[in-house]
Structure 1
Amino acid sequence: MALRNPSRASSCRPSSSRSRTVQVRCQVTPKQLRSTAAALLASASLALAGPALADLNALEAAAGGEFGIGSAQQYGEADLQGKDFSGQDLRRSNFTSADCRNASFKGANLQGAYFIKAVTFRTNFEDANLSDVLMDRATMVEANLRNAVLQRAVFTRSDLKDAVVEGADFTNALLDKTQVMALCKYADGVNPVTGVNTRKSLGCGSQRRYKASFPSNPDGPQVAEDEKDAFRKTLPVYRQ
């Protein structure tokens, strides 16, 4: 190993000895010893870390998803324009700030997924399960929500202008009042999975019905216990 400063190289001289064997004594400074030891340790660490990191990456890839849940994929801030996710199991997947314009999630299971600040302009969510989805501050202009299940979903500060909601189930979902009023102007249909009327799930028609439709409203009911149990069953079990 080459020394950084040749002028300060260790000096070696033969030692005086009566035997035929000549011993060579070298003077090495403590600073040189520390530097040499650090370099050797660094080399050894790199040599050992390569295979170890490769094995770890292989295990992480095999586990798939968040906390080993194969359905929880990571698409945060990804460019997903026009991508086809039809029929896929994407529960608890992360689409935060993703660009999903013109993408298709038709018939996909997106329960508990994250679409915070996502762009879903003209995105196809027809027949999809969007229960418990967090779509806070999402852009959902002209999104297709036909026959989608949106129970307990959060759409606070999201823009659903001209979204297709025929047959969608918004039971216990959280929407801004202005969005609800806009959707109630043309909402229609019955969800084929839950059998819930779209207008009833939005609380259209009267102020009393509107107040009773949203669990965040103190004048309305909270989420039913059976619905809470159904959501808990989808959560991962970390310890037995």
Structure 2
Amino acid sequence: MKTLVLFSPSELSPCSYLPDRQSRSQYVDPRLWLVPEELNTLNRMGFRRSGRLVYRPQCPGCMECIPVRLYTKAFRPGRTTRRLLKRASSWQLSVTPADFSAEHYSLYERYISLRHSDGDMFPPTEKTFREFLTEDFGTTRFLNAHHQGRLIGTLVFDTFDDGLSSVYCFYDPDYEQYSVGTLLITHLTHLASALNLPFNYLGFWVKGCRKMEYKTRFSPLEWFRDGVWQPINPE
């Protein structure tokens, strides 16, 4: 494995998770093409991927972004999730390459416009879709849900030697009541288990951030603290 160059910009930016914090990330040199062995190692070290950027938070005076992963073999959906799965039993699931298509972009555009019009991903463009979701290292796939021939949700995920990694989910806001993101993560966890992969990496958990709370509804979870993966204790 080649020596990887890591760097951190000197500038700080407002934190996306906690309103009173400033953020900064550590990045792998984005000019490098990373091979699966390198991606596997970085993933186990708590790095995440956004397009070709592989990063982890390195914020001054704050360590609230904690990588978490779900142990797939012991995972059992809770009562609410089982009820949702039953309601969504007619959905058709498929895994496809992480490529640009008009169908996926139309769903992404609608999702961002209706759900995240106040965020930094608005307004949606084809350029940002490609850079964020389809520019990868050849290890990314889409888990798609169709209902009555209509694409209603897509979970972008990465593949590693010890698991799958949920990267980003976008869905039709008309299906909000189905908790599409939760269902797709559940299906991806089952897929990982069927492939004998022990983990579904869920990204960062941030205590006190409402949009991260859903991750602690999955169990059993582990988190990466002090350089070691260990059972999570959210309290």
TM-score (norm 2): 0.26
Question: Which of 1 and 2 has higher RCO (CA within 8 Å, sep 6+)?
Answer: 2
Q: Structure 1 or 2: larger strand share?
A: 2
